[in-house]
Chains A and B, each alone.
Chain A
Amino acid sequence: AQSVSQHNHHVILSEAASLELGCNYSYGGTVNLFWYVQYPGQHLQLLLKYFSGDPLVKGIKGFEAEFIKSKFSFNLRKPSVQWSDTAEYFCAVVSGGGADGLTFGKGTHLIIQP
């Protein structure tokens, strides 16, 4: 079975700070990886995804993530955060060969202080 571990449950940063949120997954086969964001009062939205190819993927709003297969990791990064990035961030994985539902991590609550 797949599992996803997000190491930081709560992160507080000041505006313009750099961000890295950790995500590790456990699954031996081919995977597709996602980061979703949930802004206060809104639904889950896709930030970025990795299916194949270049392991460095760029998403919306200046976010990027790097898939490191040897480390089973898919960390999310942003060089300079803004107050509007305050949200809950979820890493998710699904096996590449199937059509199963996503397996999510527990989420990271990010607070950006102005």
Chain B
Amino acid sequence: GAGVSQTPSNKVTEKGKYVELRCDPISGHTALYWYRQSLGQGPEFLIYFQGTGAADDSGLPNDRFFAVRPEGSVSTLKIQRTERGDSAVYLCASSLMARANTEAFFGQGTRLTVV
């Protein structure tokens, strides 16, 4: 597609439920990043993939968070036993390759609200 696509755009879930957030990167981009943006804050790095493998997951806040990218394209961020503190906008970005001097393109984000 023309840009990074994230679905759904909005998700409301009850505390304790499981959610999946999807990211469809720009075609041909091998690197994919997930960020979380809380109200009044800048995006916070969660995890990035180079191809199918998670190259750095040091930003995942705890083991309730998990992400996959099985075929090296679409990625899914999975959150188990959601908590109200997980409410945020989850951003996905992709770049041609995972190098520091490569521009990352962001999606519109998924706004997750845990009630």
Contact = CB atoms under 8 A, between A and B. Distances in A.
A101 B59 contact: yes
Interface residues of A, number: 28
Interface stretch (B18-26, B71-79, B80-88, B94-102): B94-102
A25 B45 CA distance: 16
Given A44-B91, A105-B42, A107-B42, A99 B31 contact: yes
Given A44-B106, A96-B100, A104 B43 contact: yes
A106 B100 contact: no
Given A49-B103, A100-B48, A106 B59 contact: no
A32 B48 contact: no
A97 interface: yes
B101 A43 contact: no
A51 B43 contact: no
A100 B42 contact: no
14 contacts: A36-B106, A43-B3, A44-B91, A92-B42, A94-B100, A98-B100, A99-B56, A100-B100, A101-B35, A101-B45, A101-B59, A102-B33, A102-B35, A102-B43
Q: Which 7 A-B pairs have the closest CB atoms?
A: A104-B42, A101-B45, A99-B98, A44-B106, A51-B101, A43-B108, A94-B100
Interface of A: 4, 6, 32, 36, 42-46, 49, 51-52, 90, 92, 94-107
